[in-house]
Each structure stands twice: as structure tokens, then as C-alpha cells.
Amino acid sequence: MKKKIKLAMIGMTAVLFGLTACGNKQEATSKGGKTTIRFASWDTADDVDAQQKLVDKFNEEHPDIQVVLEAYGSDFDTKISASMGSGDAPDVMYMWNYPAYHEGLEPLDSYIEKEGEDYKKNFYSTLWNYNSYDGQIYGLPVGFTTHCVYYNKDLFEQAGVEAPKGDWTWEDLKEKAKVIYEKTGVKGFSFSMKPDPYDYEMYLWSNGTAYCGKDGKMEGYVDSDKALETYKMFQDMEKDGYAVATEKSGGDEFQAGQTGMFVYGAWAVKKYTEEGVNFGLAKLPSFGSEKSASILSSSGVAIAKSSKNKEAAWEFVKFWTSEESNKTRIGTEFPVLMSVVESEKILEKPEYAPFYEMLDQSGEYTPASFIMDKWSEVSEKLELAFEEMYNPSSLMDVKEAIASVLN
């Protein structure tokens, strides 16, 4: 699974017009009957090597199209913004921040429609929410992760605690965390004292609320009784001593055996497996009356609106998201096609199944970042409010802390 993509909104008003595009620039033009397509990736090292092999395969199978891979790595957003500003964007690019970039992207609805009804239905429907903006699809899903609870099997056994069940609640999690702490002296649960606001909204969804309504207004949502109850639940676990707020996600502490549970995406599965950590995975707990829901970190591939070879670009996009490509990326990306999940028996694998279960029950939610025009400003305020709530040196009253977000 790809590294975590933190949704930090980059407004298109900040694009530096007049800058030349970065990377291995090649004109997308036709020469000798061959159309050149530039493809921008955010990956590095081994991932890029694997991508190049797929690109080479496409080029071999399409003698009339030549795809050139441009690896932007950590400079991806800077280079994409600059290239869009100068009118020289790559024909095809990885994409995640559709609210920021949609004006420079080609809507794909008509392309998808031409492929037939079954084509779109083969993708998990929840993923379209994260590859669309304002009612239009701008990207085809490539990979995703939801969030689940990682739990330390050794600590659970040592404390005599039963493994989480599929229908468990936050009350169940708290009880297990307390027993682990009492029996082993190890904190039963850990969470970030400065959580990513994009991720944190899933807890509000699970408790029947959100940061804002469909109109983007926050009053009555981010400060609702349900929201305050959610913020306070985490703070109370910390105050009661059996949970700890950590500098990061809690993953380092979990790997070191210093915490019994924490919530994270699939990025740690491969690492913990290779390191020999004896861990299990469970769906996010519910608040009892509502089913739990997860935020998604989703990657897609998009076509630049400025591309002069959109049909050729679409052929490559279809290849990059095909069954063959999905299968090739298993182990680094979760397959997004239901046909591949079925044929490869993905749901029979305990390290994959809970993430897909969370995907199935999270389809009705749209992140505030896709709704609010000023999400970047709101996100910064939320981040500060969360730190005031959960930093052990402050532990500010949650109602007082969240009030600052509405000012």
C-alpha cells in the first residue's frame, strides 16, 4: 500500500503561472504515427521501477502510443501545480486532491459511459466519492485504504482479553484497553494528540454527525452534542490513564509492544508482518446505535484538460486500472476491482478483509474537504483544537477548544 497521503489542500490560486513544467518534459505530439503520452507518478525507488515495467508492457502492446513515465516523487504537488499553471501538464497523472486540481482535469464521465454499465460497476462504488468533485468524475481509482484497529495478540493473550469481534463498540474497546493496562501495565490504546483532521472526521460519522452539513456550514455539526461526545471520549480515555496520546499515529509504540491497540490504514501491514509483530486487525468499533465508518485515502489516475491526445491518454488510463494491472500491484495497493478481489480471494486474507469491510460500510459519506471551500483554513484550526484537547500538558475542555474553529 502506498504511503499515507495527507490531504493538505493546495489552492489553484497559488499556482505560479509562467513557471515551466518540471520533470522529463516531452511534448505530447504525434511523430511518425506514434503518439507520446506523459505520465506523472508520485512514487519513488522500487515502486517507480515496478511502474516502469507496466508502462513498458503498455508500450509493447500499443505500437501507436508511447508513454513516458515522469517520477516526481515528493515534489509531485509542486510540479503538477507549476505545470498546470504554465499550460504544460502531463497528459496522465496520479491524483488525490480533486478539490484543488479539478479545474485542470478532464471530466471522465463520458469516457466511462462509453465503456458500458458493467465497466463502472466493477469498481467499488465508495471509491467514486473520492475520485469525483461537484458531481463529476475526474479520476479512475487505482488503490485505497480504509482504517482499522490494529491489536497486539500477545498483549491480549497476556491480559486474558478476548480478540475484537466484528460487531464490537467503543465501550468494548475501552473495556479491553482498561484490562490490558491493569494486567500488563501497558497502555491499552494509543491515538495521536494532533490527529489529521481529514482522518478524524470518520469518528464523527460513526457517531452520527460530521464537521459540516451538505451546504458546508459547520455550526450544529462540528460543535454538536454527538461531536463533543466523540472528542471527549478520547480525552477521557487519556485522563483515565489506560490510553495515551502520542506524537504521531501510535504505530511506533505499537510495534515496540508499548500499546495494545491503535487505529491506522493498511500502510503498516507489510512492515509489521516483515518485523514479526504478532498483530490482528479489526473493523472500527461502533458507538452502538450507528455503524462505524472510515475515511478513505484513495489514489486515482486523471487526464489533464490541456492534453492534446485525450483518447490515447484514456487508453493508458484504462490499462493502468485494468484487472491485469490491479493484480500486478497486489501487495503494494489494494485491488479496486471487485472481479480481482473475487478471483484472487482477497477477502479470505485476514490482513485485507477488515479494510474491505470498512469500505463497504463507508460509502454514504463525503469528507468535509470535498464540501468546504475553505477547508485548508478549517483544517488548520481543527488541528490546533485537537492538540489543545489531547496534549497532556493542556487537556482543554473540548467545547472550549472546538469553539475556536467557528471563530
Q: In the structure, what pLDDT confidence band is assigned to residue 290 with cuts at 50, 70 and 90?
A: confident
Average pLDDT of the residues in 80-105: 96
**Domain limits of the chain?**
12-145+296-336, 148-295+368-406
Residues 270 and 276: their CA atoms lie apart, in Å, by: 10
Residue 243 has pLDDT above 80, yes or no: yes
pLDDT at residue 46, rounded to an integer: 82
Residues 10 and 78: their CA atoms lie apart, in Å, by: 9
Q: How far is CA 22 from the centre of its chain?
A: 26
Tens of pLDDT, residue by residue over 27-40, are: 445 555 799 999 99
Beta-carbon-side half-sphere exposure of residue 390 (alpha carbons within 13 Å): 26
Q: Are 320 and 54 in contact (CB under 8 A)?
A: yes
Q: Going along 257-387, which residue ranges are E strands?
A: 261-264, 279-282, 297-303
Average pLDDT of the residues in 283-310: 95
Residue 10 has pLDDT above 70, yes or no: no
pLDDT at residue 28, rounded to an integer: 41
Per the listing, cell 490541456 goes with 306
Beta-carbon-side half-sphere exposure of residue 251 (alpha carbons within 13 Å): 15
Residues 323 and 318: their CA atoms lie apart, in Å, by: 10
Please name the fold of domain 12-145+296-336.
D-Maltodextrin-Binding Protein; domain 2 (3.40.190)
Average pLDDT of the residues in 132-153: 97
pLDDT at residue 33, rounded to an integer: 76
Tens of pLDDT, residue by residue over 68-81, are: 999 999 999 999 99
Tens of pLDDT, residue by residue over 174-222, are: 999 999 999 999 999 999 999 999 999 999 999 999 999 999 999 999 9
Q: What is the CATH number of domain 148-295+368-406?
A: 3.40.190.10
Question: Cell digits for 75?
Answer: 515534489
Fold match between domain 12-145+296-336 and domain 148-295+368-406: yes
Q: What percent of the chain has pLDDT over 90?
A: 88
For 207-330, where are the alpha helices, taking DSSP H only?
225-239, 251-255, 269-275, 310-320, 323-328
CB within 8 Å of 113: residues ≥ 6 apart: none
Q: pTM value?
A: 0.90
Residue whose C-alpha is closest to residue 148's, from 344, 292, 331:
292
Q: Mean pLDDT score of the chain, rounded to an integer?
A: 92
